[in-house]
A = this chain, B = another copy of it.
Amino acid sequence: MRSPTELAQVFRDKQLKLKPQRQLLFSRLHQNKSHPTAESLYEIASKQMPGISLRTIYQTLGELAEMGELQLVDVGIGATRFDPNTGDHHHFVCESCRAMHDVDILTSPKMSLRRGGGFAVNEVGVVFCGRCNRCNHKQQVRSPESQAKDKASN
């Protein structure tokens, strides 16, 4: 995703308005490596701009995605994640805390270009599931409360 300043220019060029809600989201998303959901962005944005609507978050995220500024990542568990890193890469998801991390591409180009069974492949998504570093170090039996705590601290 481009910088907030660059995005502002893009929006101006397209005759789109630069409301403070958008600018806030631009800045919260730029170089954000946490793969936030709409809800988590809503919480973050609400701190700076109480009263901002969740609907607006969805709206803006959708627009940015459509403009190719954001990558949508949906691994099937929970909500869609939004990734400002639009380069060629894949994702690791921790089964325990659900944190998501970028994984630099390691599939061979052949894999992406492969045609098999008559399919024309446009995209290849690879999702690695497992336990992240942090969760690996907490191997004890965990209470649901402490798991909830984990989740909240992401």
Residues of A within 8 A of B (CB): 74-77, 80, 92, 94-95, 101, 103, 106-107, 111, 114, 116-133, 136
Please name 8 pairs of A and B residues whose Cβ atoms are closer than 8 Å in the assembled complex, sorted by A: A75-B76, A76-B80, A92-B116, A101-B117, A118-B136, A120-B136, A123-B130, A124-B126
Q: Which of B95, B106, B131 contacts A114 (CB 8 A)?
A: B106
A128 CB to closest chain B CB, in angstroms?
5
Question: Are B126 and A103 in contact, CB atoms less than 8 angstroms apart?
Answer: no
In the complex, how many angstroms separate the beta carbon of A97 from the nearest chain B beta carbon? 12
B136 touches A128 (CB 8 A): no
Is B123 a contact of A128 with CB atoms below 8 Å?
A: yes
Give the residues in chain B near A75, CB-CB below 8 Å. 74, 76, 125
Complex CA–CA separation, A122 to B132 (angstroms): 11
As for how many copies of this chain the complex holds, the number is: 2
Q: A74-B77, A76-B75, A80-B76 are in contact. Are A129 and B118 (CB under 8 A)?
A: no
CA distance A114 to B107 in the complex (A): 12
The chain B residue sitting closest to A134, CB to CB, is: B118
Contacts of A94 in B (CB 8 A): 119
Contact indicator A125/B127 (Cβ below 8 Å): yes
